[in-house]
Chain A
Amino acid sequence: MSRHIEWLAALLGAALLVLLAWSAPWLRFVLTVALAKGIAVLGLLLLLRAGQVSFGHALFVAFAAYAVAFAAPSVPEALLLLPLAALGSALVGLVVGLFVVRYREIFFGMLNLAISMVFYSLLEKFYSITKGTDGIRLPPVTIAGQALTGATYEWTVFGIALVLALAFGALVRVYLASSMGQALMGIKTRETRLEFMGVSGRRVLLAAYVLSALMGGVGGAIIAMTSRHVTPALAYWTASGELVFIGILGGAGSVVGPFLGAVAYELTRVYAAAAVADAWQLILGAVLLAVILFAPGGLWALLRGRRTA
């Protein structure tokens, strides 16, 4: 039952996004960024299943975005850049993960935060290489050998983001249903039991961590190719906080949640900014408060109805 609802929601949501992007051309950009952030939040969702919150996942988003920015002049092909950058992020995730999966809860979250801020400082301080806070402008990239411009380029990146969102959504669903995914929930309920069964909690978490870093990387690469300008702000702690915010907003109950949260977040932000340019933060904050107070299971639970929340 749940399976059908998720698929239905995913396909309906995808169709709605395409309709929105078609009907309001300026939303195409906003929605592409929302999908990219959704993919990154999907990675966070994996860790949430193990009861762990990472306050530093912007590290992987920013790493991939900068990888794209640095590699684009020599490899101007999006279909190569994207997997390269994502694999780079996964690799960083493996190195960082080996260290952080030894910790749980607040220590896990704070260590992630610390490492991502170290990366932020590196981006800012190595001024001659990274151009500091001014950031790096991406040269035009080809997609499958085609030099696309304007609306065609935007549509193509949007399409790639949408396909990847659906693919990763399906992958995470399968992963969560597998024994690796079930073991993640074991970490949340009682890790000692897991160890007694002969399953290493750390390895289970490490696998999920690397996968989530990969998804963060995919999100970052898409963001870089969409906005075509990368700055260290991508790695700042507020960017990590934003991902957690989206996760809470959307709800961790389903793989649809992160995308629901990301789209709602971005739309709220742009419409709030359009309505009241100097108090949009207030509106955003009020929306999150309302969700926490009235729909603790997130937007997904709200849409599915109270009984499953």
Chain B
Amino acid sequence: MTSIADQPGVPATTAAGISRRGALLGAAVGTLALAGRSAHAQGAGQKPAEIKVGIATYLSGPASVFGVPGRQAAEMLFDEINAEGGIAGVKVRPIFVDEGPGVDHFMGEYRRLVQNEDVAIIFSAISSADCLACAPLADEMKRPTLLWDCGTQRVFEDGRYQYAFRTQANATPEVLSALLYLLKVKPDFRSIAVVNQDYAWGRDSWEIFRTGLNALKPGVRVAAELFPRFGATDFSTEITRLLALRPEVILSTSWGGDLDALIRQAAERKLFERSTFLMPLAESSLERVGKALPAGHLIGARGDHWFLHPSPRDPAQLARFTENYRKRFNNWPIYPCHHMFQAVSAMKTAYAKAIAAKNGGWPNDSELAAAFRGLEFPSLTSSVTIREDGQGLENQIMGTTHHSDRYPFAVMTDMMVFPAAQVTAPVGQKSTEWLKTLKPELLTQLPATAPFR
């Protein structure tokens, strides 16, 4: 039909126009169809030409403050693997997808990664909602999936999965270690206020904190529970109230632009001089806020992620990673970079384990997935173990801000590294129930602090 319509001299009538459009449409549909129907090779257990890895991260929206560093770390680490000859001689290639448009879109992207790109493994995701939604899908599609950065503890407390694993901690140890650190360095405080972002993480983290606080130090007065809008840029109302209420401690699990704005505005109005701030995610904002964040406040890093970690497993490797990342991207690596390192490290270690278990044969999807259970793999600062329920056991670092001439931003001193087993809810227990059983004796078993050097 196209040929007739395209012949010179044939008038482009409406009929011919439709047929041309029809032909174009047909061609488009045909291309789509051909693009989609690719054979599934990697599940079969033959050595592939390359290992494709789907990586879900935020490339747009407010959470891209984590997503973009995560992506950059992945690019650097994948380049390093390929420079060393790949995993068991097979090159690796990351395929990034944006979590920005929401869960519905991501569910489609996950299917595309599995059924069209035929990735061997998926790193997913930063958003807790995406993790909750993709863990069951991982089992359904039988593709190994590593939850590399999301926070919610509900994934493995409410469900059991064969193909989904977490290469990092969850909200419970992250918030509990902040609470324990506070109780250690400021044991006599009597009042606290909270300023969290108004969404699931802000609410969840306060719930965990309050439950732990009631068990370990009952009777603390909660001066105010403030939940400013997610993405808020102005905190003058909150700061005015906090200045009037004078709580001894102010907890904020906020992150990104929200936290940056809160720190800058609180510093301007001297709120830091009246109250001690406890900010479990502040490590990711340090470089941006610079020395606006005064010394003497308590901060954390969602794990034991700190480029000046007091006792890293391999100091040379941590220094090399930090230096290479800085050279290439002109920023200090923050916790999502560490989380990405852990996902990559887990993948490398699991492949080695699965290949060894098969006497050098290439593992299929289920054999690879099985290798993750009970896997211990190195992180940049220590090591992480994946428990039998799929949850990762990751140490937690907390510290007090300190101003040094060597860095243009606050760094940590009096650092405490909590062993993962001490702060993570045991297998099969729900965090909120477990937190209620904590005893104040726990405070006598805490690790020693290490100063900034």
Q: Which residues of A contact B (CB under 8 A)?
A: 16, 19-20, 23-30, 33, 124-125, 127, 131-135, 137, 149-150, 223, 226-229, 231, 233-234, 266-267, 269-270, 273-274, 277-278, 280-281, 303, 305, 307
Q: Does B184 contact A (CB under 8 A)?
A: no
Chain A residue with Cβ nearest B55: A277
* Residue from A16, A124, A132, A150 having most chain B Cβ neighbours under 10 A: A132
What are the nearest 8 A-B pairs in CB distance? A24-B36, A23-B33, A229-B133, A26-B115, A132-B200, A134-B200, A278-B59, A26-B111
In the complex, the answer to whether B116 meets A24 with C-beta atoms within 8 Å is: yes
The 8 Å CB contact of A134, one of B36, B115, B154, is B154
In the complex, the answer to whether A223 meets B199 with C-beta atoms within 8 Å is: no
Q: Does B114 contact A (CB under 8 A)?
A: yes
Chain A residue with Cβ nearest B111: A26
In the complex, the answer to whether B37 meets A23 with C-beta atoms within 8 Å is: yes
A149 proximity list for chain B (CB < 8 A): 140
Q: Does B84 contact A (CB under 8 A)?
A: no
A24-B116, A229-B132, A305-B17 known; A29 and B200 CB under 8 Å? no
Q: Indicate the size class of the contact surface on chain B.
A: 35 or more
Closest Cβ of chain B: how far from A179's Cβ, in Å? 33
Q: Does B452 contact A (CB under 8 A)?
A: no
**In the bound complex, CA of A135 to CA of B116 (Å):** 27
**In the bound complex, CA of A247 to CA of B140 (Å):** 34
B60 proximity list for chain A (CB < 8 A): 278, 281
A269 proximity list for chain B (CB < 8 A): 101, 105
A229-B129, A233-B103 known; A33 and B108 CB under 8 Å? yes
A25 proximity list for chain B (CB < 8 A): 36, 111, 115
In the complex, the answer to whether B200 meets A26 with C-beta atoms within 8 Å is: no
Q: Which residues of B contact A (CB under 8 A)?
A: 14, 17-18, 21, 29, 32-37, 59-60, 96-98, 101-105, 107-109, 111-112, 114-116, 128-129, 132-133, 136, 140, 152, 154, 198-200, 203-204, 230
In the complex, the answer to whether B18 meets A305 with C-beta atoms within 8 Å is: yes
What are 9 contact pairs spanning A and B, CB under 8 A? A20-B36, A23-B32, A30-B108, A125-B198, A135-B133, A227-B104, A227-B133, A229-B103, A267-B32
**In the bound complex, CA of A36 to CA of B37 (Å):** 24
Majority SS of interface residues in chain B?
helix
* Residue from B14, B104, B132, B140 having most chain A Cβ neighbours under 10 A: B104
**In the bound complex, CA of A266 to CA of B101 (Å):** 12
**In the bound complex, CA of A160 to CA of B129 (Å):** 27
In the complex, the answer to whether B14 meets A305 with C-beta atoms within 8 Å is: yes
In the complex, the answer to whether A134 meets B132 with C-beta atoms within 8 Å is: yes
In the complex, the answer to whether B199 meets A231 with C-beta atoms within 8 Å is: no
B136 proximity list for chain A (CB < 8 A): 137, 228
Chain A residue with Cβ nearest B35: A24
* Residue from A135, A228, A303, A305 having most chain B Cβ neighbours under 10 A: A135
**In the bound complex, CA of A303 to CA of B32 (Å):** 19
In the complex, the answer to whether B107 meets A132 with C-beta atoms within 8 Å is: no
Chain A residue with Cβ nearest B115: A26
In the complex, the answer to whether B203 meets A26 with C-beta atoms within 8 Å is: no
* Residue from B14, B34, B109 having most chain A Cβ neighbours under 10 A: B109
In the complex, the answer to whether B112 meets A20 with C-beta atoms within 8 Å is: no
Closest Cβ of chain A: how far from B193's Cβ, in Å? 19
Closest Cβ of chain B: how far from A25's Cβ, in Å? 5
A16 proximity list for chain B (CB < 8 A): 29
**In the bound complex, CA of A133 to CA of B114 (Å):** 26
Closest Cβ of chain A: how far from B365's Cβ, in Å? 15
A231 proximity list for chain B (CB < 8 A): 102-103, 129
18 further interface pairs, Cβ-Cβ under 8 Å (given A23-B37, A24-B32, A233-B104): A16-B29, A19-B29, A20-B33, A23-B33, A24-B116, A27-B36, A30-B112, A124-B198, A132-B200, A132-B203, A134-B132, A135-B129, A150-B140, A229-B103, A231-B129, A277-B98, A278-B60, A305-B17
In the complex, the answer to whether A277 meets B96 with C-beta atoms within 8 Å is: yes
Closest Cβ of chain A: how far from B114's Cβ, in Å? 7
In the complex, the answer to whether B203 meets A29 with C-beta atoms within 8 Å is: no
**In the bound complex, CA of A106 to CA of B96 (Å):** 40
B200 proximity list for chain A (CB < 8 A): 127, 131-134
The 8 Å CB contact of B29, one of A20, A29, A135, A234, is A20
In the complex, the answer to whether A29 meets B132 with C-beta atoms within 8 Å is: no
B98 proximity list for chain A (CB < 8 A): 273, 277-278, 280
A131-B200, A227-B133, A273-B97 known; A19 and B33 CB under 8 Å? yes
In the complex, the answer to whether B107 meets A29 with C-beta atoms within 8 Å is: yes
In the complex, the answer to whether A137 meets B132 with C-beta atoms within 8 Å is: yes
**In the bound complex, CA of A127 to CA of B152 (Å):** 14
Closest Cβ of chain A: how far from B17's Cβ, in Å? 6
Closest Cβ of chain A: how far from B99's Cβ, in Å? 10
In the complex, the answer to whether B128 meets A270 with C-beta atoms within 8 Å is: no
**In the bound complex, CA of A131 to CA of B154 (Å):** 11
B203 proximity list for chain A (CB < 8 A): 127, 132
In the complex, the answer to whether B129 meets A20 with C-beta atoms within 8 Å is: no
B230 proximity list for chain A (CB < 8 A): 133
**In the bound complex, CA of A33 to CA of B18 (Å):** 28
**In the bound complex, CA of A280 to CA of B108 (Å):** 15
A26-B116, A125-B198, A131-B200 known; A273 and B14 CB under 8 Å? no
